[in-house]
Amino acid sequence: MSADGPLIVQSDKTLLLEVDHEQAQDCRKAIAPFAELERSPEHVHTYRLTPLGLWNARAAGHDAEQVVDTLLTYSRYAVPHALLVDIAETMARYGRLRLEKHPSHGLVLVSTDRPVLEEVLRAKKVAPMLGARLDEATVVVHPSERGNLKQALLKLGWPAEDYAGYVDGEAHPIELDESDWQLRSYQRDAADSFWHGGSGVVVLPCGAGKTLVGAAAMAQAKATTLILVTNTVSARQWKDELVRRTSLTEDEIGEYSGTKKEIRPVTIATYQVMTTRRKGVYSHLELLDAKDWGLIVYDEVHLLPAPIFRMTADLQARRRIGLTATLIREDGREGDVFSLIGPKRFDAPWKDIESQGYIAPADCVEVRVTLPEGERFVYATAEPDERYRLASCTAAKTRLVEELVEKHRGEPTLVIGQYLDQLDEIGERLDAPVIKGETTVKERERLFNAFRHGEIDLLVVSKVANFSVDLPSASVAIQVSGSFGSRQEEAQRLGRLLRPKQDKRSARFYAIVSRDTVDADFAQHRQRFLAEQGYAYRIVDADDIAAA
């Protein structure tokens, strides 16, 4: 304990970090491996200790003694003794069960604590995954249940440490080509952290070069690689980057999407095609057996659909890396990511990368509009499930979009929303192209390329542009509607703007919100992630936008 330390440790498992303290940066780095950032407004950042966070730390090689010592070193006041006991006992749960290779029986579950083994053997969901009992501490596990068992044990509060190892897969030469660029230090650290752990998740801000971390992991694996991405546009961006940044040629990289079915040493497949069912069967999962993959890369891992989770349970012998800007899942399945992809291996706060000049600073502005009297009456008498659409699609928002586009005329601008009728109307009023789900991949690529090269400076886009679309020139985004209270989506939309600008200017992110409606309630929730990352929203009235 230090009388003037930067950290206040509370018995409810929250940690308060005083941002302006001279030791704040050292403290932040010390607690980052085991504490989850919850909120980061101007002066005091709030972290929380959770079982998943503590188990992440254990998986990364940190023990309870290190965690306790860190808290005692930086805490301004005495650390509650009960909290220290809880930390030690929670972290001690990790590793009492281990998955290992047995010379005669293949995969086995081994326990250093017999009562724990007896407890899990009696769990209804665990018992069917296990085979013969070899001795008091060892039970046979069917190899295909390796992932499912890890999921089930995590939910029981006894996360298993996986020592069963990985197959090398089919070798394939892959090298980074750094002749005209250099891997950034944090990208190299992220790739190394993954490789030493064997599998896991790398968390980096949008625009910080997650694709290059994936390429660096591939160069370490030097093996056939399956890359899973959100859409076809993203697949082609990955291919372009790999051809430009590595020794791979175009002929060595295949696309497995709705339009192409190429299987090559490096194959890039979309989540959509992998989860397409015909007569109840996932017909494309045979891709998993098409090659002896040495590495699986999950782009935007926080979006993994349920069938991919199930598929990943069968891939536990393969090295796996997940890439994401945020591990937030609105369905609360972060634990599944931990057990099936692996623990978080590397995490860099957005503001840290911004301070190094690798992503642009952003000015976030919430602009509040008032529904006209007639629309307010319609809203008040509408069914609850219709109110968000009515609040989102008010004509007041469309008029304000026109003002904001005029205010930023000449700057590369995105107008983003989720209601297609609204976007079509805005596109017509602004004489701007609209990109939505029905827009062909060829047309999307044409418009995105025209935007990147300055041939057009205004695009109206639906949520198809939320993920994995690289638009480095974008400097203004105007959000008119979103997926209810999705923090994940808010982070991705801001991420469209964070590529560094040549003139070093800040990006501008506007969220247009209808006051006194559910739109305002959802907006507050959506902004939480950005507040956690240190972005402050200014709130202005639509009438004052000219001065904003």
- Rounded to whole angstroms, how far apart are CA atoms 361 and 506? 5
**Higher pLDDT pick, 481 / 177:** 177
pLDDT on residue 539 = 86
Element of type H or E holding 71 = helix 64-74
How do residues 35-67 score in pLDDT, each as one tens digit?
A: 987 776 778 888 999 999 999 899 888 999 999
Weakest mean pLDDT among 272-276, 381-385, 483-487: 483-487
Cβ atoms of residues 513 and 523 within 8 Å:
yes
Residue 385 has pLDDT above 80, yes or no: yes
Cβ atoms of residues 53 and 67 within 8 Å:
no
- Tell me the angle at which helices 81-93 and 51-59 cross, rounded to the nearest 10 degrees: 60
pLDDT on residue 330 = 62
- Rounded to whole angstroms, how far apart are CA atoms 117 and 128? 15
Cβ atoms of residues 413 and 477 within 8 Å:
yes
Residue 484 has pLDDT above 60, yes or no: no
- Rounded to whole angstroms, how far apart are CA atoms 461 and 415? 6
pLDDT on residue 284 = 78
- Rounded to whole angstroms, how far apart are CA atoms 221 and 319? 9
pLDDT on residue 290 = 75
Residue among 149, 56, 49, 169 at smallest CA distance from 107: 149
Cβ atoms of residues 544 and 367 within 8 Å:
no
Residue among 274, 321, 330 at smallest CA distance from 299: 321
Tell me if residue 253 falls in helix, strand or coil.
strand
Q: Which two tokens stand for residue 171?
A: 């070798």
Cβ atoms of residues 90 and 51 within 8 Å:
yes
| pLDDT over 90 percentage in the chain | 53
- Rounded to whole angstroms, how far apart are CA atoms 385 and 277? 30
User: CA neighbours within 13 Å on the CB side: how many for 371?
Assistant: 23
Q: Which two tokens stand for residue 417?
A: 């929303």
Q: Return the residue matching tokens 């769990």.
A: 123
pLDDT on residue 283 = 75
**CA angle in degrees (0–180, nearest 5) for 227-106-308:** 25
Phi, psi (deg, nearest 5) at residue 205: -60, 155
Element of type H or E holding 449 = helix 441-452
How would DSSP label each residue in 160-176?
PEE-S-----SB----B
Contacting residues for 76 by C-beta, under 8 A, at least 6 apart: 1, 2, 3, 4, 5, 6, 7, 8
- Rounded to whole angstroms, how far apart are CA atoms 380 and 517? 9
pLDDT on residue 470 = 66
How do residues 443-480 score in pLDDT, each as one tens digit?
A: 988 998 898 888 999 999 988 766 556 676 788 989 89
Q: Which two tokens stand for residue 216?
A: 């660096």
Q: Which two tokens stand for residue 148?
A: 């499912």
Residue 546 has pLDDT above 80, yes or no: no
